[in-house]
Structure 1
Amino acid sequence: MRKTIVCFGDSNTWGFAPELQPEDESYFGRYPEGVRWTSVLQEMLGTGYRIIEEGLNARTSIWDDVTWPDRNGLTYLRPCLNTHAPVDLVILMLGTNDLKVRISGYTPEIARAAGVLVKAIQSGNDGPEGNAPKVLLVSPILVGEELETAAPDIYDELGRENARKNSKEFAKYFQAQAAQCNCYFLDAAKYAEPGPVDALHLDAANHRKLAVAFAEKVREIFQESI
């Protein structure tokens, strides 16, 4: 039977393409299918899997953001899984927007928030035969060194010089949270990095690199379950 995988994340799951943004900011430019890591993952895994894209620009883990309404990941997570049930695996990659100083800006707290999401998934019955889905918790890619010059407004939002330093701590704390929650873990920063346009979002080449890493991990997860 085909495996259903929900990819729940922010703009790097949605496919935000900084080089495709219009000057008047009238809409968000998005990489097309075949470029986004989610659709590349679908191609790599084949017809035995169904990849569901659930990315949203500016999504946080558990916090409301007054400047971006309806971005709280926790409030949408369970309805999302109810919609797509039965779900075999959730790939959960959030945290970068939580670096904003008005939201959290504190990496250990951000990792704990990710753990809240994992536990929300594990406490549900949205998996096969009324069980909970498996969870792959992903620590996000790093904030790029060029963020200050590439995107100064976002640089300020993310705590200026603390942005990259805090993102470097993602893997340590997210891995510890995954161990505590007894779920799978992947460090996205080992495989991909932000593109040069805004030093925050994946470019086309890095979408593919991340898809390769996810494909290998997904095969490992389901091979272990056989």
Structure 2
Amino acid sequence: MAYQAGGQRPAPRPVPDTCEIQAYLQDYGALLESQSCPSLVVDHHWNVVMANSAFETLFLGVRPHPTAMPGENFLRFVLFHPDAGEVLGEHESGWCLPMLAQLRTALETHGHDHDLQAVRREIAQDPIMEAAYRQGLPHWIRAVGEAATRLDGAVRLLHHPDPRRGRTECRIVEEIPQPLRELGYRRLTMVLRDPRRPAAPVRRPRRSRDAASHLTVVPSTED
């Protein structure tokens, strides 16, 4: 997908103003940090409320970006960061299209949300991404079924920077304890599975900041 240079950095996330909630989140952060698998808590904008060290390690090699860092907004990272495919395997079908489906669902629930609408406008500014959202996404859902749009339980491919893992699968597990639900948060954990059998390395050239790419679900306009 094409890199988007425009857009605004997400607004600072509000901090819960009760001591009880703050204490719960502090303890929940300690729980998150104790996990060996990458784990993060997001709000309905996909702003990252907290993430553990394993999550940070997974994206350690990602280059700086003004609006799409994985530790700030995971939706923007998947859609707009040129390095996303370096870490998220089968980037288009495994991550981009499911996240576009997540955005569509969020917009149906929070249609006037400023942050979600800002992401939608950035998509509309890029002809390739707009075609993916309007034509590619419905085509993909018809082909694979609505179940593929759900994250909980999905098995996704990762390119882990730790050579002991390398190309490996993870199962996404979604959890929403009641205190997080009341805040509009949810937790996603990438449960790492045994690494796949070693295969010949495939060199994936990094995309430049202004380079566009083509989505296979969108018919090419080139002759």
Question: Could you state the TM-score of these two structures normalised by the residue count of structure 1?
Answer: 0.32
Q: Which has the larger radius of gyration?
A: 2
* Structure number with higher relative contact order (C-alpha < 8 Å, ≥ 6 residues apart): 2
- Greater helix content: 1
Please give the TM-score of this superposition, normalised by the length of structure 2: 0.32
